[in-house]
Structure 1
Amino acid sequence: MSDHSSTEQESTRSRLFFSRARDWALPVAAVLAAAGIGVAGISSGLANRDRPAGETPATSAVPADLPSCPVTDGKALAPASGVLFGINSDLDTKPLATYAAELGHKPAVAVSYVDFPYGDQDRDRLKDTAAKVRADGRILLLTLEPKQDLGSVTPEVAAALAQDLAGINAAGVPVIVRFGHEMNGFWFPWAQQPLEYKAAFTRVADAVHAGAPGSAMMWAPSYAGGYAYPGRQYGVEAGSPDFAALDTNNDGALNTADDPYAPYYPGDDAVDWVGLSLFHWGSTYPWGENEVPEAGKFAGQLTGNYNGANGDERSLPDFYAEYAVNHNKPLAIPGTAALYNPGAGGAPETAIKQAWWEQVFSPQTREQFPQLKMLNWFEWDKDEAEVGGRIDWTVTSTPALRDSFAAALPGWLEYGGGTGCGAGGS
């Protein structure tokens, strides 16, 4: 399961957000102008989908005299050793600079979301986000959400995206594009459409590789416990070409015996990074109870060895071995966290979250998964449809929890640069 949100809430928040975008564009335009990039050079925008309604947007405080340091090789963003540490959060509520102060490190990666294709309204938002990453981060993980339909991702749309990314790269900010994440789930309108999904991903990848060499492409499904989610909102129609593609064992049914990842893989030429959304939702379905994660769960899910809440999930493929090792791709965990339901009883928050981060940050994680190159913490406190209420995924909302988390960050993590120049920092 995933880092998805309520479509209705998202739509309302997006309308409120974009109605104010013009009011705070000028400081950002000044920042990118200082780097030699004009407003007309970037024609897209970035909206973090879970931004609370009514919140006052923050303007960028990036100095206008930052040095120019263009990024030219997006395929070289994975560190030779170590793992990039990032934040998946609302950067308006809590800027990257605040995370840096609280955790003692600048996050190396900042995750944000944009509806795709996008319109001119979004332009200033993208520049602001890029400026924030340039000042207080290192890499922008740009999540493109094709909510209209996959067919709307035309070659022209992909080419315009590449032009936008080239401008961001020229300002010193590398971008990794995560297109149509969690496509193997049921919670997004681009879900369970492997044929069109792969075609759309390839169109975007071709454009990005050709036009924005400082950017890279990430393919990132969700951990597939409970796959193939029969009868859910965005299920596949029996008898369709997509159904045939998903029925990998050709038995006429879709279930955990079918491969939940391979039908969606666009190919090695299109994919630079592979990623897997990996969360502790609980130990017993239905979700919503506060439960300490079982020992070894993180590694078990990543390798297909987890005997999980939906029955024995050890029939799932070894994602790490297949995609990170066999396809020789750097692996990202674009979002991870442990469920805490403030409205429920059960295990205490600290016990749940600490047990999860101890698994994620354990020495065994580094030893067992040398291809792991990125870990992003999911810092959201939001409503979850699966639970029917608010879930607090954060580790920085209270000082005691935040300090414990910061103290647990291992030495093998890599952080953002100190020069305010994206990947050019140290």
Structure 2
Amino acid sequence: MTRFTAAKALVAVFAVLLTGYAFVVGPHLAGEQQRRRAAAVDAALPPTADIPSSGPGTAADDDAPRGTFPDRGEVFVGIMTGEGLHDLSEAADFARRTGHRPQVYQFAQDWAHDRFDAERIDDVARRGMMPVVAWEPWDHREEAEEPQLRGEQPDYRLSRIADGVFDAYIRAWAEGVASLDYPVGIRFAHEMNGYWYPWCEQSNNNRPGDYVRAWRHVHRIFERAGADNAVWVWSPNVHYANATPYERLYPGDAYVDWVGLSGYYGTVGKENYQSFDRIFSASEARLRRLTDKPLVITEVAATDAAGRKAEWITGMFRSLPRHPGVIGVVWYQAVREIDWRVTTSRDSVAAFARGVSAPRHRVPWSPYDEPRRRL
């Protein structure tokens, strides 16, 4: 006969408690946490207006007032977070602490795991933020740790995109975007002039010309799906030594609505203090030799390693009027190797709140607005 010792009794009690937590207490706490998070999002980013009806065969309200977003002299200020569509808590915290509702919300979606989700995109638009998808043809979970190997994913070679291997997936997104009666930014395969993604021509056995062919192929699928509300954002990294030249990668004005630039103070090669002008001006001049399309700073942030993030933010807002071709800025409100968030210190929050309070940055986004496609 098995003896029921005190130790066994404790094990039995612990097992009962653990089971109770797993099936009763844990889910209750998780549900309560989720409710609190949702309440915080609703408080900081309350819905501002009904969005146009979505779905096949629907149309936007023709009587709704329409404007241009952003209008001349205006510059929107949006954010990109690490959580993307899955959790708007970071966006809500940003809005609460800076006093600024982002007019654009950028989120990453990779081709291996993310499917079109109209409900979540609608939720972004309903809260007064234009959705912009950083649409990434790769499996981000298989990202190599070694920088030189990050771009090696043969399944996502540019030639496979251009040859139609992913057409069913692309078409599903195209038809989904077409079903939304408001603009959605498509920032397809960004920072293509580098080497760190599978869609860069310097990596993954891609060849010169493959990027343009892939871009135009994807664009044509959206055209055939009737996704006229797609706003195409061609977005290289700021130029650096050994980068692929912009002119080799630009698909042409017929395929692009906005051009973009990614640039940070604090990345490799920019550890020493560099102002907004120093990071972006030369690359902006290179772009202007290609096109006069409106420019969006599609990723920007600053380190606080030297305690100068607040100073950098102040300088950015002072510099923006000297860049009349820039119609928007998207701050990278996330942690990746470095904590890029505005909210890392009271000083940086205060600097951002002061800068963004200028009237030129306070323009609201409406789902009925037409995106500005010319300067």
What's the TM-score, normalizing by structure 1? 0.60
SS in 2 for 1:207: helix
In structure 1, runs of 5+ residues without a counterpart are 1-22, 24-54, 229-245, 247-259, 305-315, 342-346, 384-390
Distance in 1 of aligned mates of 2:121 and 2:131: 7
State the match for 2:96 in structure 1.
Answer: 101
Match of 2:302?
A: 338
For 2:336, which of 382, 387, 394 is the aligned residue? 382
- Please give the per-residue CA displacement for 1:293-336, whole angstroms capped at 9, x wherever unaligned: 3xxx32233332xxxxxxxxxxx78235324xxx2201010010
| Secondary structure at the counterpart of residue 217 of structure 1 | strand
Deviation at 1:56, TM superposition (A): 6.9
Q: Is the 8 A contact 2:68 2:369 kept in 1?
A: no
CA change 1:183–1:189 in 2 (3 A) is: same
Q: Distance in 2 between matches of 1:292 and 1:189?
A: 30
Deviation at 1:184, TM superposition (A): 0.8
Match of 1:239 in 2: none
* Cα deviation code 1:74-102 (max 9, x no counterpart): x9645333111101113526253443322
Confirm or deny: 8 A CA contact 1:222 1:278 kept in the other structure.
yes
Equivalent residues in 2 for 1:93-172, closer than 5 Å? 94-116=89-111, 122-123=115-116, 126-147=117-138, 148-153=156-161, 154=164, 155-167=167-179, 169-170=180-181
1:422 and 2:370 correspond: no
Task: Check the 8 A contact 2:52/2:61 in 1, yes or no.
Answer: no
Residue 360 of structure 2 is aligned with which of 412, 420, 424?
412
Q: Could you list the runs of 5+ residues in structure 2 that have no partner in the other structure?
A: 1-26, 28-32, 54-58, 139-155, 371-375
Q: In the TM superposition, what whole-angstrom CA distance separates every residue of 1:263-299 from its partner, at most 9, and x where no partner exists?
A: 11111111111001011126xx666x5x433xxx322
2:315 alignment counterpart: 359
C-alpha distance in structure 2 between counterparts of 1:317 and 1:102, whole Å: 31
The farther-off stretch of 148-157 and 107-116 is: 148-157
1:183 and 2:192 correspond: yes
Equivalent residue pairs, number? 294
CA shift in 2, pair 1:273/1:424, >3 Å: closer
Shift of 1:198: 0.8
1:279 maps to: 264
Structure 2 CA distance for aligned equivalents of residues 94 and 397 of structure 1: 16
CA RMSD of aligned residues (A): 3.5
| Mapped partners of 1:414, 1:158: distance in 2 | 35
- Residue 218 of structure 1 is matched in structure 2 by 233
What is the alpha-carbon distance in structure 2 between the residues aligned to residue 406 and residue 82 of structure 1?
17
Relative to its length, the structure with more helix (as a share) is 2
C-alpha deviation, 1:358, in angstroms = 2.3
* 1:102 alignment partner, SS class: helix
Q: Counterpart of 1:130 in 2: which secondary structure?
A: helix
> How big is the shift at 1:222?
0.2
Alignment of 1:5-404 (within 5 A): 66=50, 68=52, 77-89=69-81, 90-91=83-84, 92=87, 94-116=89-111, 122-123=115-116, 126-147=117-138, 148-153=156-161, 154=164, 155-167=167-179, 169-170=180-181, 173-192=182-201, 193=206, 194-210=208-224, 211-228=226-243, 260-281=245-266, 291-293=272-274, 297-304=275-282, 318-323=285-290, 327-341=291-305, 347-348=306-307, 352-362=308-318, 364-366=319-321, 368-383=322-337, 391-404=338-351
Give TM-score scaled by structure 2 length: 0.68
Larger of the two Rg values belongs to structure: 2
CA contact (8 A) 2:301 2:332 kept: yes
SS in structure 2 at match of 1:422: coil
Task: Tell me how far apart the structure 2 counterparts of residues 317 and 332 of structure 1 sit (CA, whole Å).
Answer: 10
Q: 1:71 to 1:84 in 2, by over 3 A?
A: farther
Residue 423 of structure 1, CA deviation:
4.7
Tell me what 1:16 maps to. Answer: none
Separation in 2, partners of 1:146, 1:72: 34
**SS at 2:178's partner residue?**
helix
Q: Which residue of 2 aligns with 1:42?
A: none
- Any idea what SS the aligned residue of 2:343 has? coil
Identity, % of aligned positions: 26
Q: Distance in 2 between matches of 1:203 and 1:334?
A: 23
